[in-house]
Amino acid sequence: MGRKIEMKKISDTTKCQVTFSKRRSSLIKKANEIAVCCHADVALIAFSPSRRITLYPNIDGVGDILQRYANLKANQRFEY
């Protein structure tokens, strides 16, 4: 089993950026696994602490997925 890490905000900006950079690839990998295994359309948008953007669309583009979301009726957007 993995070790348990206490979840808390990282106050040191350098450590925060390093942690984001390390975890970003794992997050993208998980988004890809969900897309492939579940045949889901996935869009990931992440802003780093230094305000750089990371985009992961598993189809043509993040904009296409966001447009589909925007076209949903309000009561359909949060159905689980």
Tens-place pLDDT, residues 45-67:
999 888 899 988 887 788 888 88
pLDDT confidence of residue 59: 78
pLDDT confidence of residue 28: 93
Q: How many CA atoms does the CB half-sphere of 47 hold within 13 Å?
A: 3
Question: Is the domain defined by 13-76 classed in CATH 3.90.1300.10?
Answer: no
pTM surpassing 0.85?
no
What confidence tier does 1 reach under pLDDT thresholds 50, 70, 90?
Answer: low
What confidence tier does 80 reach under pLDDT thresholds 50, 70, 90?
Answer: low
The domains of the chain are located at 13-76
Instruction: Report the distance separating Cα 69 and Cα 54, nearest Å.
Output: 19
End-to-end CA distance of the chain: give it in Å, rounded: 30
